[in-house]
Amino acid sequence: MRLGSWLFTKSNLLSVEAYYPFTKKGKGLAYQPFIIFNSPSGTIYLYGKRNLWSLLDALFPNDPLPRRQLNQDLQDSIRGKIILNDLLQDPDVWPDLRLQVKQGGWVNPFSSFEGNVSDKNDVTYIMSASASSSESDITPNLMLLEKAFKHSYCIPFTITTKTALKTIPAVIIPLKLKSNYKVIVTDEIGGDHIVFSIIEENGSNFRPKQASVFKSNEITLIEKEIKDRLKELDTINFDFPLNRPLDAGMKWYEMDYLEYKRFLSCKDYSQWRLKYAN
């Protein structure tokens, strides 16, 4: 899930789509890997050894990988892709990642021509990674919801309340055929669960409906809210505009409001509202 300049994901939900160990440097090539990942938040890119090793160190924080040997193995494009995918699926891998990301234009790493640079900020790049963990254990309500909805999974979720920055578990329930369309349910904050919908497109979020708050004993109402929001998400097929990601330190209710307003400002919103919302 994207939150400002951070992207949270399960390690085993990342996969390498393409791996190129050598990229353009001056008139020749240098070992500076260029990697295209698939993730629940869409396609993300990584460029350079330093950023790659930030990711690899985050995957195995308590048992660092051997740099010299692995760098040699990763210089082969076919073997390197297999190794990286195997590491992401390793049973001992750290389960949760917090990726620092930024938006930028597409840059062709295999050419120095200026025409290979896009002026659109439509590409998400991984700049660094860290092992992410929750400050508290998952509660029974989230366990029930994770079992109740197919394709759902739990991740640590960082949220800024009125008084503090908290990292708590959250259940992510994506649409089956649109993994970047999802409903999120946070663990308890002051006895309440927050339920909201997110559409991740072009590196920023859009919310078709503002967040709802439920007491911890309202599990039946929470399940109904999730189903209603998934049904609503399934009707949306917009051409979303490019927007600058919001500040990750913004309070959650401010972010909820602004990302909802962004959805309302989409050019397809009026037609969708007339057809589906009523």
For 209, phi and psi rounded to 5 degrees?
-155, 140
Structure tokens at 114: 């200026």
Q: What is the mean pLDDT of the chain?
A: 88
* CA–CA separation, 229 and 126 (whole Å): 30
Same domain, 59 and 174: no
Residue 133's CB: how many other CB atoms inside 10 A?
A: 12
Q: Where are the alpha helices (DSSP H) in the chain?
A: 49-59, 67-73, 77-88, 140-148, 219-233, 252-264, 269-272
Same domain, 110 and 161: no
Structure tokens at 138: 């998952």
Q: What is the pLDDT of residue 80?
A: 96
Q: What is the pLDDT of residue 190?
A: 78
Given a contact cutoff of 8 angstroms between Cβ atoms, the answer to whether 99 and 129 are in contact is yes
Q: What average pLDDT does the segment 136-165 reach?
A: 82
118 pLDDT above the threshold of 70: no
Residues 6+ apart with CB under 8 A from 59: 11, 87, 88, 90, 93, 94, 97, 129, 131
Q: What is the pLDDT of residue 133?
A: 66
Same domain, 113 and 15: yes
Residues 6+ apart with CB under 8 A from 199: 180, 181, 205, 206, 207, 208, 233, 236, 238, 240, 263
Domain stops at, among 110, 131, 152: 131
Same domain, 101 and 189: no
Specify the residue for token string 């629940």.
40
Same domain, 96 and 169: no
Q: What is the pLDDT of residue 277?
A: 61
Same domain, 145 and 121: no
Report angle CA 69, 71, 74 to the nearest 5 degrees: 110
Domain stops at, among 131, 159, 183: 131
Q: What average pLDDT does the segment 90-114 reach?
A: 81
Domain limits at 38? 2-131
Q: What average pLDDT does the segment 81-89 reach?
A: 97
The confidence band for 136, taking pLDDT boundaries of 50, 70 and 90, is low
Strand ranges for 161-228 from DSSP E: 165-174, 181-186, 192-201, 204-206, 212-215
Same domain, 9 and 118: yes
The confidence band for 120, taking pLDDT boundaries of 50, 70 and 90, is low
Residues 6+ apart with CB under 8 A from 106: 117, 118, 120, 122, 123
259 pLDDT above the threshold of 60: yes
- Total domains in the fold of the chain: 2
The percent of residues in the chain predicted with pLDDT above 70, rounded, is 94
Domain stops at, among 131, 166, 200: 131
Q: What is the pLDDT of residue 194?
A: 95
* CA–CA separation, 190 and 162 (whole Å): 12
> Of 117-121, 160-164, 237-241, where does the model show the most confidence?
237-241
Same domain, 127 and 170: no
161 pLDDT above the threshold of 80: no
Same domain, 103 and 61: yes
Q: What is this structure's pTM?
A: 0.70
Same domain, 170 and 201: yes
Q: What is the pLDDT of residue 110?
A: 76
Question: Chain-centre distance of CA 215, in angstroms?
Answer: 27
Given a contact cutoff of 8 angstroms between Cβ atoms, the answer to whether 195 and 166 are in contact is no
The confidence band for 162, taking pLDDT boundaries of 50, 70 and 90, is confident
* CA–CA separation, 142 and 122 (whole Å): 33
Q: What average pLDDT does the segment 101-116 reach?
A: 69
174 pLDDT above the threshold of 50: yes
Same domain, 159 and 176: yes
Residue 215's region, left for phi above 0, alpha for psi from -120 to 50, else beta, is beta
- Terminus-to-terminus CA distance in the chain, angstroms? 29
Beta bridge partners, 214, equal 193
